[in-house]
Structure 1
Amino acid sequence: MLTSLYQRHGRWLLVLAAIAFPFMYWQGESMPSNNDLETWLPKESEVRSTYDMFKEEFGAEEVILVGLPNMNPDDPLVESVAERLNQLPGIRHCWSPRRLSQVMRELSVSEEKIEERITGLSLAKDKQMLGLVALLSPQGLQDRAGTVKDVEGVLDYCQLRGEDVLLTGGPVVIAELNRLGGAKNNKAYFLITLIISSLLLYYFVREIKLTVGVMLITILSIETTNAFVKWSGGEMNFILGAMPVMVMIFTLSISVHFISYYRESDKVPDRLIYSLKHTWKPVFLSALLTVIGFGSLVTTSIGPVWWFGYAGAIGSVVSFLCGLGLTPALLLQWPDVLENEASVTKYSHLRLAHTLIHRRWLVTGICTVVIAAGAYGCRYLTCRIDPLDFLPKSSNVVKDLNTLEERLTSIDSVEAIVDFRTSDAPFMEKLNRIRLIEARLGTHQSVTHTMSVASFFPDVMPEGVMGAAKIFNKALGSQHRSDFLSAGERYWRISCRIRREDVASKGETFNELKALVADMPEVTLTGITPLVEQAQVTIFQGFKESFSSSFVLIALVSLCALRSVKLTFWGMVPNITPIMFIFGLIGWSGASIDIGMMMTGSIAFGMSVDATFHLLFAYQEASRAGHSPRTASFYALVQTGKPIFEAAAIASIGMLALVLSSFTPTMRFGLLMAVLLWSAVVGCLVQLPAILAMLPGKRKRKSKAIALPIDDSQEHESLMLEEIRRVA
């Protein structure tokens, strides 16, 4: 019935897919990109609420810092650039050394104090570089990349290029991340991956029409997944960039397994039914379990991780439908396409399979030691989220940032909010309190510069009521007071520039600053730094919890499918082998893992589950036919080893093209994914058969013998039977 259905409607199914292909491609490729740091921050937490309140009262803390080497603050070009930047819609205000000095001078600050206060902020200590500090407006926050482009346009118009200008700041880093990590920049590397995968698929299939058809099905799966994510309101980011690779792996795996079963069934009356019978159950279960695994990520409060879980679940379903729905229709269009293949057999590795089963105790022992060492190494794993780690060291953005932080000021800051609530204290009393708090925060070794309303006032106020009143009136009338004062005189802001350190050190600095003002209940500290630290902890903890819950759910579903506690237990071992081993090595090496590296674990886990089910069902088939565990394990390895190996080889070797990328997350992802896939192959085709061969056998019962996948030639049949007898 199913065969006749495909025969009648298979061609129309392919035509429908061909019609949908251009639309899905257009929709999938038009998904917007967004790598803004705020999207990675926890949505609901006390730390996030405090930061949101800070933004509402004072505006965002994000700045673009323009460094001008060998320029004098009184140079007319400096003020010309500052004024042009000030007029950009994405810039709220641009501070220059002259503008800062002018405000302080109007409030009777001495020239000596002015120079002291602007040094290390907008003027280098050696006076050989000055800086323009451009604060982003709400419009600039909505379009950081556009604002950075506008700033670059102003600098180019003023003929400040190359070594004449340095540009850095959070928006500059984010714009560069969007450029390097965007779909446009990575498309070339992904195209190379598809080409390599296509060549490998052709090498294994040896049929050009089928190769092209399967690769088009794979691309359709990728773009359909992207389209669904876009329609749901998703945006492309660092980790969603891994989704096309995951969908490619899953779809190719399904197609390769189906083609393998179809090829070996050339003497079976109904090849389609035979192939579907051996493919659908392990493929369906692996897709179901992958959906469960990715679905567990939607409980997180981190936006990109939530979208990765959602997209992963959608991609698993799409891969299943396209891979198992369109590949049979494709093969029926060319029913004899695999008939004339010479030496279509997978028995060249029978000796290897026999050696593995024969050495099962040794193999299992080695794998056990490796897993134990890896599991112990996982204790030392640490997570690190630092956008600068994603940029190549040779990047001009990184060079400018390092130069400006060394010679001028840091772009990282901790913001102190001082809440005087309904206090009726005089302005001067509040100002002195701010000075006290600012001085205490400034004693920390990581704080390079502080700035507040007090920075614009003289240390000693003029004597006499009229002199003081004049200064107060000028201060209250200043258009810049909203940068440091809000809600009348209730909220006061102190901005502390801190040295750039790793995230853990920033977290320690933040906690130490909190301890310095612990006895001042009116002070609350906030900023991107504590949010990034919390996001790091939340993401790392969330993935561990997600992996643990997924493991338990997958075990329960496997138990229902296999109906064997023994097979379920031992079948889960190779699923964790690649993750334990590879991530254990990373832990032992002392290296940190980033968010992209975490994604590889989820994808490798899905690949391992798929391969494991294929082998376990083949083992169960032989075992139920009355064969011993060693014979059943040997049969399962011969039956499923070739397509498992081919699918992993096509995906992993193809992904090595991503190592060529200059974008660090893409390079790390491609390399780690390739290594994990080969580790998954070792777990499924080496460790699992060895374990299964060691299981105690049951008393043989009479049963109809299974149809062993043997070539008609007497030579292959004799070899197969000889090996089975030797193993048994």
Structure 2
Amino acid sequence: MRSFYSLYDRLILNHPWRVLILFAVVLVIASLKLHQFRLDASAESLVLENDTALEDYRTVSQRFEASDDFLVVTYKPDGDLFSQPAINTLRNLRDDLAALGPVGSTNSILNVPLLHSPDLGIDTVDEELLTLDQDEVPLDQARDSLLSNPLYPNMLISEDASTTAIQVNLPTPDRYFELVRLRNDLREQARVGELNQQQRQKLQQVSEQFRQLAAELEAEREQTITDVRAILDRYRDNAEIHLGGVPMIASDMIRFIESDLSTFGVGVLIFLLLTLVVIFRSWQWVVVPILCCGFTVWLVAGYLGWMQWPVTVISSNFVSLLLIMTLSLTIHLMVRYREHQQAHPQDDRKQHLRDTLSTMVKPCFYMALTTMVAFGSLTFSGIRPVIDFGWMMTLGLALAFAISFLVFPVLVALLPEPPVRQSRPGSLPLTDAFARITERFGGTVLAGSLALAVLCVVGMSRLSVENSFIDYFKSDTEIHQGMVVIDQKLGGTTPLDIIITDLERPEDAETDPFASDCDPFVEDCEDGDLRDTWFTWQKLDRLEQVHDYLAGLPETGKVLSVTTTLRLLAEINGGEPLNAMEVAFVPAMLPDDLAPILLTPYINEEHHRARINIRLIDSLPDLRRDELLAEIRNHLHGKLGFEQGQLLFTGMTVMYNNMLQSLFDSQIRTLGIVFLAITIMFFVLFRSLKMALIGIAPNLLAAGSVLGLMGWLGIPLDMMTITVAAITVGIAVDDTIHYIHRFRVEFEKDRDYIATMHRCHQSIGRAMSYTTLTIIIGFSILVLSNFLPTIYFGLFTGFAMFMALMGALMLLPRLILLLKPFGPAASH
């Protein structure tokens, strides 16, 4: 170890300018790819590792020509919707939106067919369907026609006819799906080890092409949404207008990420700067840590750019966390440096640095290592963005430690030495007050900690993961307001698709000539030519049972399927249900321009699939997605007799639910790994199992307190708050390591446990208080976010840090005094 310190002294402390120049070169190299640093709020960034739900979703979208790639513009005029001025305004708005280049088409009450003509019948459907765009339809009759149509209410028009919607379709090019399919196939071959060198190069090429195309589409969508909002602003004077849809949600999520990265990154930096000024009152002790923090963020952002590693909603707080983590390391170094200044004023600056670094390298190394373990444990969560977040922070903490022991001493050596500030005699710092409480009321501290632990366990038993996506956003944001209108007025927000594989032919199929694609009236049908079709009365009757069951659930809004089409045709047929022959001829009966609306989104004969599209009412306070999906499965299997392999549940609801339901398992797994790893590291560091168990106690209490509080307040785990407990342990364990390390050193002076505790509270206790204060202040700025999980993340992390400090300054020393892990005290 002595040779290491000698080498460090020769290479770093004796050549600060050389080190600074080399580090500047590294910063320049990192900055070369900063322009490739990017954000991602796509569905792919929020799925489980190895989850096939996204691939199922894309496959279904292609096969049924049904996609969520559309914007929804809700329009509620100040007066009657079905007045000529309101209709004219709606038409002008629709035309302005349709004129945008990326818009493929629009759907609204203006262009959808109406069941109005008295001559309309099953055999005249092609000639007699009218629209508001093409025909002079009286508006009151158009209103009645739209509301009586089973397709449009709660989709294009509200049931009270006060609100309508324009669906603005933003088609995704086929090239996108081709690249996804090719990339996924190559990834699967790579996973099983079947790729040769040429195929590996092909995978890299395809992945890069997909990334570039996705970036182009993302930029195009963002600009389109900006243009749409500009158009909507021109029409808001006489109507209540909101924007919704999956592309808008993804765009706004990216906007929130950008805001969190820039606004909160700068805000946290300003807060930290002010805190440093107040605490240390020396410009050197402000400049040095701020530069170290900035360098850490710079290098990590540059690395992400070089690796083309996107930042997601979950990892968007990495800037704030890295600033705070790096500052924590540098504050410990600064406080220790000032202690050496005060204790040995005759020594020069280089000696102060040697003493500081030699005494702090071991606790800081274990501090960084345990925090890296805490964040590294997130890689076991099974959630892709949480895994990425864990790796980002692990890398960032390694850089933070390196910068603290390379750049910090160089900057201190080159800047004018900070003045020595002696503590005022007789002052009673807050930390000493905690020491007195611990000494005099030790039993109360233990009893209070035990009671708090019980409350934490009860609170954690009340935790849930069910939450409303709408409630992720503040009520005054457009994304929240638009989703509420769509959810409550237009049939729900969260889509769910149930895909049913072609049923077995009914037993009496040989007596039903329409159970085959072969037309027995014009062809000589043989057994080998027979193939099942969906358009038999028996099969469509079973689909109708599924449709009616789903529509009757309180959690569902609009339900669409081929049943909707048949009921529409029944109305055209004078209210009479179609008979078996008419059912068989439905595909031929529908006009070509209506088939993409009424048929192909729900039936795919080529792949023998039927699709039922449901939208859930996300704002329902009692919505339990996982229970609902299980209930639907059980009913379809148990009551309606569908086999396991005949049903596929997909859509945004399934992907989101899969992620939510994994939170419990991943939380338990993550915390278990963290505490096991840290306990082992404590044992290695302190060479004592008793000391390892003592050290882990306050960390358990800090992590349990934040989860317990969430349970008691009824705040569910989500994609951000899941990380708080692991982060809490990672940061809280820093205080534990520093305190125990200092206690061991101080104890050897007089082997007096009480006196040692007071000295530790007055020295390392101050550094712990400073770091905790800066962390709490830094995270408090996150409450300004529009994204509620970010707000909860900031509040609960700040609370957890406060609890961790209380544990380190009260419970930890009380356990040390009680169990005496450093041996017997000296007799006086």
Do the aligned partners of 2:674 and 2:726 also contact (CA within 8 Å) in 1? no
* Equivalent position of 2:588 in the other structure: 472
* Equivalent position of 1:406 in the other structure: 488
Q: Are residues 1:68 and 2:90 paired? A: no
Name the stretch that deviates more: 571-580 or 41-50: 41-50
* Equivalent position of 1:451 in the other structure: 560
* Equivalent position of 1:712 in the other structure: none
Rate the CA distance shift 1:663–1:346 in 2: closer, same or farther, 3 A: farther
1:612 deviation in Å? 0.9
Q: Distance in 2 between matches of 1:206 and 1:673?
A: 27
- Aligned counterparts, 1:49-88, within 5 A: 50-58=56-64, 59-70=66-77, 71-72=81-82, 75=87, 78=90, 82=94
* Equivalent position of 2:629 in the other structure: 510
Do the aligned partners of 2:69 and 2:171 also contact (CA within 8 Å) in 1? no
- Aligned counterparts, 1:468-547, within 5 A: 472=588, 474=590, 478-480=595-597, 481-486=599-604, 488=606, 490-500=608-618, 501=620, 504-518=623-637, 519-521=641-643, 522-547=646-671
Of residues 442, 462, 466, the one that matches 1:360 is 442
User: Residue 203 of structure 1 aligns to which amino acid in structure 2?
Assistant: V
Secondary structure, counterpart of 1:97 in structure 2: coil
1:310 deviation in Å? 0.4
Alpha-carbon displacement from aligned partner over 1:233-255 (angstroms, at most 9, x marks no partner): 32222221221222122211111
Q: Distance in 2 between matches of 1:468 and 1:160?
A: 46
Secondary structure, counterpart of 1:595 in structure 2: coil
Do the aligned partners of 1:28 and 1:225 also contact (CA within 8 Å) in 2? no
* Equivalent position of 1:716 in the other structure: none
1:562 deviation in Å? 0.7
1:699 deviation in Å? 6.7
User: Residue 109 of structure 2 aligns to which amino acid in structure 1?
Assistant: P
Rate the CA distance shift 1:97–1:492 in 2: closer, same or farther, 3 A: farther
Secondary structure, counterpart of 1:126 in structure 2: coil
* Equivalent position of 1:611 in the other structure: 735
Aligned residues between the structures: 702
Q: Distance in 1 between matches of 2:264 and 2:423?
A: 35
Name the stretch that deviates more: 420-429 or 380-389: 420-429
Rate the CA distance shift 1:184–1:462 in 2: closer, same or farther, 3 A: closer
* Equivalent position of 1:585 in the other structure: 709
Q: Are residues 1:428 and 2:535 paired? A: yes
Q: Are residues 1:96 and 2:108 paired? A: yes
- The answer for unaligned runs of 5 or more in structure 1 is 703-724
- Aligned counterparts, 1:277-288, within 5 A: 277-288=358-369
- Aligned counterparts, 1:695-706, within 5 A: 695-696=819-820
User: Residue 171 of structure 2 aligns to which amino acid in structure 1?
Assistant: S
* Equivalent position of 1:248 in the other structure: 323
Do the aligned partners of 1:73 and 1:130 also contact (CA within 8 Å) in 2? no
Q: Distance in 1 between matches of 2:229 and 2:785?
A: 29
Rate the CA distance shift 1:351–1:483 in 2: closer, same or farther, 3 A: closer
* Equivalent position of 1:177 in the other structure: 253
Q: Distance in 1 between matches of 2:407 and 2:491?
A: 59
Name the stretch that deviates more: 595-604 or 464-473: 464-473
Q: Distance in 1 between matches of 2:548 and 2:437?
A: 74
* Equivalent position of 1:122 in the other structure: 156
- Aligned counterparts, 1:9-48, within 5 A: 9-18=15-24, 20-21=26-27, 24=30, 27=33, 31-45=37-51, 47=53
Q: Distance in 2 between matches of 1:192 and 1:151?
A: 28
Secondary structure, counterpart of 1:265 in structure 2: helix
Do the aligned partners of 1:68 and 1:166 also contact (CA within 8 Å) in 2? yes
Alpha-carbon displacement from aligned partner over 1:365-385 (angstroms, at most 9, x marks no partner): 322322232233222122345
* Equivalent position of 2:498 in the other structure: 416
Q: Are residues 1:439 and 2:439 paired? A: no
Alpha-carbon displacement from aligned partner over 1:542-575 (angstroms, at most 9, x marks no partner): 1221111111011111101110111111011111
TM-score, with structure 1 as normaliser: 0.86
Secondary structure, counterpart of 2:699 in structure 1: helix
Q: Distance in 2 between matches of 1:616 and 1:467?
A: 80
Secondary structure, counterpart of 2:612 in structure 1: strand
Do the aligned partners of 1:571 and 1:612 also contact (CA within 8 Å) in 2? yes
Alpha-carbon displacement from aligned partner over 1:551-604 (angstroms, at most 9, x marks no partner): 101111110111011111101111122222232122122222333223332222
Q: Distance in 2 between matches of 1:452 and 1:632?
A: 75
1:78 deviation in Å? 4.7
Do the aligned partners of 1:441 and 1:516 also contact (CA within 8 Å) in 2? no
1:632 deviation in Å? 3.5
Q: Are residues 1:293 and 2:374 paired? A: yes
Q: Distance in 2 between matches of 1:130 and 1:332?
A: 69
Name the stretch that deviates more: 560-569 or 497-506: 497-506
Name the stretch that deviates more: 461-470 or 628-637: 461-470
Do the aligned partners of 1:242 and 1:599 also contact (CA within 8 Å) in 2? no
User: Residue 807 of structure 2 aligns to which amino acid in structure 1?
Assistant: G
Give the % identical residues: 18
Q: Distance in 1 between matches of 2:630 and 2:83?
A: 37
Q: Distance in 1 between matches of 2:390 and 2:441?
A: 40
Q: Distance in 1 between matches of 2:17 and 2:145?
A: 82
Rate the CA distance shift 1:92–1:51 in 2: closer, same or farther, 3 A: same
RMSD: 3.5
1:102 deviation in Å? 5.8
Alpha-carbon displacement from aligned partner over 1:5-42 (angstroms, at most 9, x marks no partner): 33332122234444555664675586211223442222
Secondary structure, counterpart of 1:182 in structure 2: helix
Name the stretch that deviates more: 407-416 or 564-573: 407-416
Alpha-carbon displacement from aligned partner over 1:62-84 (angstroms, at most 9, x marks no partner): 54222222444994665665566
* Equivalent position of 2:195 in the other structure: none
Secondary structure, counterpart of 1:282 in structure 2: helix
* Equivalent position of 1:319 in the other structure: 400
Do the aligned partners of 1:435 and 1:454 also contact (CA within 8 Å) in 2? yes
User: Residue 66 of structure 1 aligns to which amino acid in structure 2?
Assistant: V
Q: Are residues 1:188 and 2:243 paired? A: no
Q: Distance in 2 between matches of 1:298 and 1:155?
A: 39
Rate the CA distance shift 1:537–1:90 in 2: closer, same or farther, 3 A: farther
Secondary structure, counterpart of 1:251 in structure 2: helix
Q: Distance in 1 between matches of 2:69 and 2:621?
A: 19
Q: Are residues 1:563 and 2:687 paired? A: yes
1:493 deviation in Å? 1.6
1:498 deviation in Å? 3.0
Do the aligned partners of 1:124 and 1:407 also contact (CA within 8 Å) in 2? yes
Rate the CA distance shift 1:475–1:426 in 2: closer, same or farther, 3 A: farther
TM-score, with structure 2 as normaliser: 0.77
Do the aligned partners of 1:504 and 1:533 also contact (CA within 8 Å) in 2? no
Do the aligned partners of 2:225 and 2:248 also contact (CA within 8 Å) in 1? no
Rate the CA distance shift 1:380–1:26 in 2: closer, same or farther, 3 A: farther
Q: Distance in 1 between matches of 2:115 and 2:89?
A: 20
Alpha-carbon displacement from aligned partner over 1:476-501 (angstroms, at most 9, x marks no partner): 77455442333526222221233223
- The answer for unaligned runs of 5 or more in structure 2 is 1-5, 130-143, 177-213, 506-530, 571-575
* Equivalent position of 1:706 in the other structure: none
Rate the CA distance shift 1:7–1:309 in 2: closer, same or farther, 3 A: closer
